[in-house]
Structure formats: C-alpha cells, structure tokens
Amino acid sequence: MTASVALIPPFTREIAIQKVRMAEDGWNSRDPERVALAYTVDSRWRNRSEFVTGRDQIVEFLTRKWSRELEYRLIKEMWAFDANRIAVRFAYESHDALGDWFRSYGNENWEFDEKGLMKVRHASINDVPIKETDRMFHWPSGRRPDEHPGLSELGL
C-alpha cells in the first residue's frame, strides 16, 4: 500500500485487493481487539448462523472462534467489488482440541462506510475434515508471506 492511496470508497480494483489483504492480515494476527477496529462500532455480521452486532460482540465472537480453531491460517481473495462493497472468497485451515484438521471454505459480502470501516459482513462457510498431511497453508503464525501462493494458485 502506498501512502498516497486512501483505502476508502469508492473502491478501485487496486484498493479492493488491498482491503482484502489487510483483512486477511488482521485475521491471521488472531488478535480480536485489532481485528474489531476495522469495523464500525455498530457493525452487523452474519457468520454462519450467528448474528453479531458491534465491536464488543465481534471481540467476543473472535475470542471464542480462535480458542476453538487452533493454528488458524487464512487466505482471502477478492472476487468482485463496486463503489463501497467487496465480495471475497476464502479458505482457512485449523485444528480442534482433539487434533482433527479442517479446511473451511467460504464467501463473504462486505459493505463499507465512507471512512473505509466495514459496517456489514455476511459470511457463509463450510468445513471439510482434512488429514494433517493434506494441509496447504504452511507458514509461521501471523501474516501470510507474500511468496506463499493464494487460493487460485493453490487450485482452491
């Protein structure tokens, strides 16, 4: 991201791609407080069958999520965009407390306010059990390295 590019609507393709990568980086931090700052104070979510409103509930939701989804690694890819909305597809890998691995596939629809904060997030997600040997997301905890393939390059 260059300092001269504001990541606010109306979005260009470049800005939309940067917003998606910033969201991926935030979620890969697994820091609920940090992630919540990317959303409006009254942000509304539908995540699977759970409905979340506001930053406090986002923090609570993410804290629960990452206490169950261990060694979480996420890749997001921009699918489409318009002036203040972005559609994203994603996959993440994690394991549960028993050591069973999963790859979760999903789509998100995002809507942003004029300051570039996300005010609406709709997520549909499916979990697929995988063997640990079938994992594809191998990088140290945190941000996905730039040289690591994205979803399309991985055939996902």
CATH number at residue 26: 3.10.450.50
Residue 28 lies in a domain: yes
CA 3/CA 91 separation, integer angstroms: 29
Residue 18 lies in a domain: yes
Residue 90 lies in a domain: yes
User: How confident is the model at residue 5, as a pLDDT?
Assistant: 55
Residue 142 lies in a domain: no
Q: Which letter does DSSP use for residue 9 in this model? A: S
Residue 149 lies in a domain: no
pTM here is 0.94
Domain extent at residue 40:
13-136
pLDDT digits (tens, 9 = 90+) for 67-94: 999 999 999 999 999 999 999 999 999 9
Residue 155 lies in a domain: no
Q: Which residue did the predictor score with more confidence, 5 or 146?
A: 146
The pair of three-digit structure tokens given for residue 44, joined into one six-digit string: 């509304």
Indicate the number of domains in the chain.
1
One-character DSSP codes across 10-75: SPPHHHHHHHHHHHHHHHHHT-HHHHHTTEEEEEEEEETTEEEEHHHHHHHHHHHHHHHSEEEEEE
Residue 154 lies in a domain: no
